[in-house]
Amino acid sequence: NAGVTQTPKFQVLKTGQSMTLQCAQDMNHEYMSWYRQDPGMGLRLIHYSVGAGITDQGEVPNGYNVSRSTTEDFPLRLLSAAPSQTSVYFCASSASGSGNQPQHFGDGTRLSIL
Amino acid sequence: GENVEQHPSTLSVQEGDSAVIKCTYSDSASNYFPWYKQELGKRPQLIIDIRSNVGEKKDQRIAVTLNKTAKHFSLHITETQPEDSAVYFCAASSRQGEYGNKLVFGAGTILRVKS
């Protein structure tokens, strides 16, 4: 099992550019989520999904878009990149549709916005 | 919404000593409390978790205690070893969203074990 796979691992963007961070899991997990990690602030939830076709906002959703067309994939879209979105992004999945089970994290995407 | 505070932000202990990290939460409806360990440049990994119907849970050198009345929970690591050095995050999960639970993390504790 690969677990949770994130691509790319590193990315540099210019302000205003858009891009999609990919996340895929092969554990048939219902719950998937995106977090950003900034120094001294822990992990903050951006968006989450409890199954295909169902998504909801987290703590810091502004500037990000998600969709869940399949159980396996949960891409995160930056609509117009801003320097404040420079961060490490983690995708996670959990077996329970409610999210009340251990979350398995991917290796992260390190994103720099110039 | 839920708010989780974690203390201390840094903790240095001598190898073999115990380490304790404390977290408080604000939402009395929170019912799941995991702890994650993150080594430098790596993904967070679950080390132990506890649910609201349990007061204490232990796994070898690691234990977690939960006080629902006071809304705080703690991580206890005994007989610390250099490989315990990492950043530790607590989190609390509650039904805040329309569809499912949201996990709110503390800011993290940098644990350094000196040999």
DSSP secondary structure code for residue B84 in this structure: G
What's the pLDDT tens digit per position in B76-112?
A: 999 999 999 999 999 999 876 677 788 999 999 999 9
Distance between CA atoms of residues B16 and B9, nearest Å: 21
**pLDDT value of residue A97:** 67
What's the pLDDT tens digit per position in A18-74?
A: 999 999 999 999 999 999 999 888 899 999 999 999 999 999 999 999 999 999 999
Chain B residues whose beta carbon lies within 8 Å of the beta carbon of residue A48: 97, 100, 102
DSSP secondary structure code for residue A72 in this structure: S
DSSP secondary structure code for residue A73 in this structure: B
Backbone angles phi, psi at A101, to 5 degrees: -135, 165
A89 at interface of B, judged by CB pairs closer than 8 A: no
CA distances from A85 to A11, A19, A40, A60, B92 (A): 12, 12, 15, 11, 24
